Amino acid sequence: MEKNTVKGSRILLIGGSAGSLEVLIKALPLLRPVLSFPVVIVLHRKSSEDKLLEDLIAAKTAVPVAEIEDKTPINPGNIYVAPSDYHLLFENNGVVGLDVSDKVNYSRPSIDVCFESAARVYGTGVTGILLSGANADGTAGLKEIHEHGGTVVVQQPATAEMPYMPQYAINSLTPDYIIPANELAAYINNL
């Protein structure tokens, strides 16, 4: 059995769909350039969007943006963006694997798959943030984060371009925090 070397480590996961990129574009320039934990962003995107999203995010923040490939080590102080058409699976040795299994909630990458996998590996060290979107992806993952003692954060639906995703999560569980879009950067900087 593989030894778990990341239990107790901290990781921040941000998931979103329609309307979430705008929130991130406003928040990223406000992030401290040195973070003591890794940030993993999982956005629903078209399969054809090669590295456009990674390049856009890198242009908006002073935090280094690292590319994810299969078996990429997840290190503090970096932002990682889930590549198009792959699920992210976290492993006990601190790396992330890429998976091409079936879409979940019509999506690959799926927010649920990423959040659930990280919850099992990082336990209480996970903070999951769910942003704007038009389907239910992310809620099951937030439940798993909660069950493993992690922190659950949902964008205030009134500040979401597409409020269905955050509202569905709020209706399905009790988040630790519900934050407006304009407070996302301050929340992350205070972690």
User: Between 49 and 57, whose confidence is greater?
Assistant: 57
Helix (H) or strand (E) holding 128: strand 126-130
Q: Is residue 2's pLDDT more than 60?
A: no
d(CA 95, CA 69): 10
Predicted pLDDT of residue 85: 87
User: Between 5 and 45, whose confidence is greater?
Assistant: 45
Predicted pLDDT of residue 46: 73
Average pLDDT, the chain: 92
Q: What is the DSSP letter of 137?
A: T
> How much is the average pLDDT of 65-87?
92
Q: Percent of the chain scored above 90 by pLDDT?
A: 77
* Helices 139-147 and 164-172, packing angle to 10 deg: 40
Predicted pLDDT of residue 45: 81
pLDDT in tens, 23-54: 999 999 999 999 999 999 999 887 665 678 88
Predicted pLDDT of residue 173: 97
Predicted pLDDT of residue 105: 80
Predicted pLDDT of residue 104: 82
d(CA 21, CA 79): 15
Predicted pLDDT of residue 112: 95
pLDDT in tens, 98-156: 988 888 887 888 999 999 999 999 999 999 999 999 999 999 999 999 999 999 999 99
Q: Is residue 1's pLDDT more than 50?
A: no
Q: Which residues are catalytic?
A: 17, 44, 137
Spatial CB neighbours of 59, under 8 Å, sequence gap ≥ 6: none
Q: How far is CA 106 from CA 16, 58, 80, 85, 138, in A?
A: 13, 27, 22, 11, 12
User: How does DSSP assign 59-116, residue by residue?
Assistant: HH-SS-EEPP-TTEE--TT-EEEPPTT-EEEE-TTSEEEEE----BTTBSS-HHHHHH
User: Between 125 and 4, whose confidence is greater?
Assistant: 125
